Chains A and B, each alone.
Chain A
Amino acid sequence: MPEGVPIEFDGVTKRFGSVAAVSDFSATILPGRVTGFLGPNGAGKTTSLRMLLGLVAPTSGRATIGGRSYAEIERPFATVGAALEAASFHPGRSARDHLRVYAQASSIDARRVDTVLDAVGLTPYAKRRVSGYSLGMRQRLGLATALLGDPGVLVLDEPINGLDPEGIKWIRTFLRSLADEGRTILVSSHLLSEVQQTVDEVLIIAKGRLVHTGPLASLESHAVHQVVVDSPTRPALADALTAAGMEPVPADDGLIVTGAEPDQVGAVAFAARVQLSVLYRRKAASELEDSFLALVGEEGSL
């Protein structure tokens, strides 16, 4: 069983001319769990991953895998598997030949080619030229390339992009099982909702800077609370809340108060002698997404 090793970014900075794509980015990604690397498009995710993989030279700082830079790893495919974009294939080459090329380049047993084709479900299309592949099939071929060396570390850039619902379900289960085997899994996405059900840890980057890191649940503490409150005499309640410095917003099911806890709202109503018919903290379905968007700023909605 391949062993997962930590991925480490240590003060990594990349400037393209005067534009800083990534600024002083430091993070550690541990084995045995799926880490989501999140941020809006253009936040610096792909550049960070390419620096980790030795494809882009950092302006300063250092990114390592198990303590070694990518270039220092002998037969890198056996340690790190990466799938960076869905278009890195010669359209005139079959999936099988594509995998044979990279198996040879990294001294991997040719039998692994059929194994990984099978693992991603491409065996029936293995001899077809890639030009005839759908985006979903290309994603699977990219993943197959990453799995060639049975690596302990997997780095996947937007692997869910272009997959159908069935494919998304499949890749979630697949990544989970790989992490459970003790591998290090780093998955980037610009949509939290896409990976919310897959990741254990999140690493959020915006405008080239790390803005949050921690377990997925840690995002909840950043969520903006909503308290729903209502009264048979709603105008009186609204007045009392406003007087107490809260900003009640009328909605279908009552008044929405943000930035306060239910007990504070209840105390205000009690003091003003307003009867309450409804009082609860809303468990909004979009809570994580909201805090994600709050972290990455307005452009996150793009």
Chain B
Amino acid sequence: MSAFVPAVRAEFTKTLSTRMWWILAIILVAYVGLLAGGIAFGLGALDASGQDDAPPGPVGMGETVAGIPVDLLAPVVYSLATAVGYVFPALLGAMLVTNEFRHKTLTPTFLATPRRGAVLSAKWVVMFAFGALFGIAALIGTVGLGAAGLTAFGFDPILGESDTWALFGRAVLAMALWALVGVGLGVIVPSQVGSIVIILAFTQFVEPILRLAGGFADWAAQVAQFLPGAASDALVGASIYTVMSGAGSESLDWWQGGLVLLAYAALFTVIGYLANWRRDVT
């Protein structure tokens, strides 16, 4: 423990003393905020125009807008913070690790803290905190602009309900876990360009396609629910992807989703530790 607490302080300073964290945070807030505002205004305008051609949901689900039950409008808009924004904490986590390889700072880092496991644990602690911070920032964006859009068209932003705030809490947890997944991926793929490309390609392209494919067969849906993005959406409890892929898709319970995401982070980190972190630093 004697090396761990100092290592945590050092990792906080490392993260705060370069520009990357706030550049990513600003892009994240602007991106998910504008998306949430745009979708809220778009759906509101569609509903108000009376030209909603989408088939209504199953009987008993009540009024829908573009096929989305009105009850789910606000959660779907707010959860864009995680459903779209989760890539940002993952990038931050991966960069905190790959920076050490890229700029050869592993040398002074391991000189100051020869217990290498303590360094990696410290990165987990610090990235969990920054991931949570990103989650709060992203929610400020989606709730701020999203609630404004919903309210403007007469929908209830349901900000007074405890369920909504529970969703916010789970969203913050999801973002924190994604930063840990990023740390794990960064140790497995120490090349900075390599790990950034993998994160972007997987989250923006590979996983959406796999989840879409999961909608075509039962067995595929069983597997697809364990994909990291699907687990994350299950943890948060609402997602534009879940709504789009229809009611037939499988989903984990929120706590199962959280555990699956944590398992990904832990598995990646342990594999990376064994494969790369213990190596000679030359």
The residues of A with any CB-CB pair to B shorter than 8 Å are 46-47, 50, 53-57, 70-71, 73-74, 76-77, 82, 84-85, 87-94, 97-98, 100-102, 104-107, 145
Look across to chain A and name the residue whose beta carbon is closest to the beta carbon of B100: A90
Q: Which of B10, B19, B105, B111 is close to A89, meaning CB atoms less than 8 Å apart?
A: B105
Known: A55-B280, A74-B2, A101-B10. A90 touches B99 (CB 8 A): yes
User: Would you mind naming 19 contact pairs between A and B with Cβ atoms under 8 Å apart?
Assistant: A50-B281, A55-B280, A56-B280, A57-B280, A70-B114, A71-B114, A73-B114, A77-B111, A87-B103, A88-B105, A89-B105, A92-B18, A98-B17, A100-B13, A100-B17, A105-B109, A105-B113, A106-B112, A106-B113
* Cα(A79)–Cα(B113), bound, Å: 13
Q: Which of B2, B10, B112, B281 contacts A56 (CB 8 A)?
A: B281
**B6 neighbours in A (Cβ, 8 Å):** 104-107
B102 to chain A: closest residue by CB: A90
Name the one of B10, B17, B114 contacting A76, with C-beta atoms under 8 angstroms.
B114
Cβ–Cβ contact B104 & A102, under 8 A: no
Q: How far is the CB of A102 from chain B (nearest CB, A)?
A: 5
Look across to chain B and name the residue whose beta carbon is closest to the beta carbon of A83. B108
Residue contact A102 to B10, C-beta cutoff 8 Å: yes
CB-defined contacts of B10 to chain A, threshold 8 Å: 101-102, 104-105
Q: How many A-B pairs with Cβ below 8 Å?
A: 85
What sequence of 0s and 1s flags, for each residue 6-33 of chain B, a beta carbon within 8 Å of any chain A beta carbon? Answer: 1101100110011110000000000000
| Alpha-carbon gap, A188 to B7, bound state (A) | 29
Chain B residues closer than 8 Å to A145, beta-carbon distance: 108
Chain B residues with CB under 8 Å of A105's CB are: 6-7, 9-10, 109, 112-113
Evaluate contact between B13 and A76: CB separation under 8 angstroms. no
Find A90's partner among B2, B18, B115, B282 (CB 8 Å cutoff): B18
Smallest CB–CB gap between B98 and chain A, Å?
Answer: 11
Given contacts A89-B103, A93-B17, contact A47 B282 (CB under 8 A): yes
Closest CB of chain A to B134's CB: distance in Å? 19
The 8 Å CB contact of A54, one of B103, B104, B109, B114, is: B114
**If A56-B280, A92-B18, A102-B108 touch, does A97 touch B13 (CB 8 Å cutoff)?**
yes
B107 at the interface (CB under 8 A from A): yes
B110 at the interface (CB under 8 A from A): yes
Cβ of B112: which chain A residues have Cβ within 8 Å of it?
76-77, 102, 105-106
Q: Report A-chain residues with C-beta under 8 Å of the C-beta of B7.
A: 105
Q: Least Cβ distance of B5 to chain A in Å?
A: 9
Determine if A97 and B103 form an interchain contact, defined as CB atoms under 8 angstroms apart. Answer: no
- Please report the C-alpha to C-alpha distance between residue A100 and residue B10 in the assembled complex, in whole angstroms: 8
A87 and B104 contact, CB distance less than 8 A: yes
CA distance A236 to B232 in the complex (A): 97
Residue of B nearest to A97 (CB): B17
- Give the residue of A87, A90, A104 whose beta carbon is less than 8 angstroms from that of B9: A104
Distance, CA A56 to CA B108, complexed state (A): 13
